[in-house]
Chains A and B, each alone.
Chain A
Amino acid sequence: MKRKLGAVNALYPSLTVLAGAVVDGRPNFITVAHVGILNHATPQYLSISLVKSRHTARGIREHGQFSICLPSEDLVAETDYVGMVSGRDVDKSGLFELFAGDLPFAPLIARCPVCMELTLHETLDLTTHDVFVGRLEATWADEDVVLDGRVDFAKSRPLLYDPLRRYWTLGRVAAQAWSVGKTLKNKERK
């Protein structure tokens, strides 16, 4: 028998990312675990959800550009730190070595194995939060984590977040997708 919990968001674990923007002429970053893949097509749209008052949100609104960088396990302390202090009080621009992509206001972190540049497509107003819908313009990946032109997440070693306040690592492969269910498909035909 299930227990009714009220309207508790259970969409976890979620990928932990560092979202970057330029605020008052300075690169700033915030830790975000409420990110989303909205479609699967070209153009590709991704979303990040930020409390409206966040310092980074101001930079995204001002320049219409932002970045999403995926930290690996070795950046866990920096990732956690970026989520604890605001760019209003602390200059986080020197924390990471940056590299240049195609967009001038989407700062990319050299130590993150995967970095994405986005232009702001639309902003959804959901009461306390702005959901920034970005159009993916370019993806940069460390050559060490690329396998046949695709990112191998076993190699990029992402951080996964859950509401019990833990960062999880990625585990073993449980099965192949679009494959393990074929047994049921074949059974049905009989």
Chain B
Amino acid sequence: MHADLGPVLALYPTLTTIVGAHCGGKPNFLAVAHLSPMNHGTPQYLAIGLNKAHHTNAGILENGQFSINIPGQDLLAETDYVGLVSGKNTDKSGLFEVFYGQLPAAPLIRDCPVCMECRLHQTLVLGAHDIFIGELVATHADPTVLTDGRIDVAKIRPMLFDMPLKKYRALGPVLGDCWSAGKALKHKDAQ
């Protein structure tokens, strides 16, 4: 039996990332778990949702560039920290060793195994939030997280965000293969 919880956000867990942008000419970072791939193609579009109160929004709007960095569990404290303090009061530019790819205002974090550079494509305003839809320009990955040249999420050891219970969770074991686990039902259907 299902209980009616009201319009409670229950689309978790989500990947925890660190978004970077230049604010006042300096790199700034914040923890973001409300994000989404918008399509699956080229160009590839990714969206992040940020409350307008955040310091980073002005930097993204000013430069039209941002980064999405995926931390491993060894950056747990740093990731949580950049979600706790605002760039308005705290200079977070020295927290990480930064490098740049093609975009000069999309700071990438050396210690994150995967870093993505995005160019702002479109901004959607939903009440108090800016939804920044970025066009993915380039992805940089540590060779240690690749399997046959492709990113392997198990090797990243990502943090999954659970907002209702305020927890970061790890990945569990693999349950099955996609486009495979359901084949038994497909065959049944064809009979």
Contact = CB atoms under 8 A, between A and B. Distances in A.
Given A77-B182, A141-B10, A126 B38 contact: yes
A120 interface: no
B138 to A, nearest CB: 6
Interface string A90-104: 100000000101000
Contacts of B183: 80-81, 84
Contact of B136 (A9, A127, A129, A160): A9
Contacts of B49: 36-40
A13 B43 CA distance: 20
Contacts of A6: 138-139
Interface string A115-135: 110000010101111010100
Interface string B41-56: 1111111010100000
Interface size class of chain A, counting residues whose CB lies under 8 Å from the partner chain:
35 or more
Nearest to B102: A4
A172 B139 contact: no
Interface in A71-110: 73, 76-85, 90, 99, 101, 108, 110
Contact of B182 (A83, A169, A183): A83
B61 interface: no
Contact of B140 (A5, A80, A168, A183): A5
B66 to A, nearest CB: 14
Interface residues of B, number: 105
B13 A124 contact: no
A139 B5 contact: yes
B178 A4 contact: no
A94 to B, nearest CB: 11
A39 B34 contact: yes
25 contacts: A5-B151, A7-B44, A13-B160, A36-B49, A37-B9, A37-B36, A40-B129, A46-B9, A49-B37, A70-B11, A81-B182, A116-B10, A122-B124, A129-B40, A133-B126, A143-B1, A152-B164, A154-B169, A165-B179, A169-B174, A178-B166, A179-B166, A181-B78, A181-B79, A185-B84
Interface of A: 1-15, 17, 34-47, 49, 51, 68, 70, 73, 76-85, 90, 99, 101, 108, 110, 114-116, 122, 124, 126-129, 131, 133, 136-143, 146-147, 149-154, 158-185, 188
Given A36-B37, A136-B7, A140-B2, 4 more contacts: A35-B11, A153-B164, A164-B147, A164-B152
